[in-house]
Amino acid sequence: MIIISCTKPPAPLPPTPTKLSHPTLDVSSPLSRGMLTQYDVWEFLKEEPKETEVFGILGLPDSVWVADSQKYKVLYYFIKSLDDYNSVEIDITSKKVNGFEWD
């Protein structure tokens, strides 16, 4: 039996810059300068900002994970004072915050 499919694989996503992959782009952000409280960040993220706005306020993420479905990606930020990672989920299509976990 031979099975032929007419669908094409999803186009690869361009890589999301991280602190490690793009150290020259990792400039200080309001979060890294201590200008924002964790509550300020939570309030900002609940407004569902665009990915570029997230980078402007939070800086580049420490790491990124892309779902196998390529419908969303998760940006991980390490917060030294909490000794923990917080995450921001970005919708691939709209490039806006889709969800987050911020302590």
Q: How far is CA 59 from CA 37, 42, 65, 102, in A?
A: 15, 15, 17, 15
Q: Hey, what are 59's tokens? A: 């800086």
Q: Report how far residue 32's alpha carbon sits from residue 66's, in angstroms, rounded to the nearest whole number.
A: 24
pLDDT given at position 13: 80
Q: Report how far residue 37's alpha carbon sits from residue 68's, in angstroms, rounded to the nearest whole number.
A: 33
- For 13-45, the pLDDT digits (tens) are 888 889 888 877 767 889 888 899 989 999 999
Average pLDDT (6-10) is 67
Give burial (CB, 10 Å; 0-12/13-18/19+) of 75: buried
pTM for this predicted structure: 0.85
- For 45-96, the pLDDT digits (tens) are 999 999 999 999 999 999 999 998 889 999 999 988 778 899 999 999 999 9
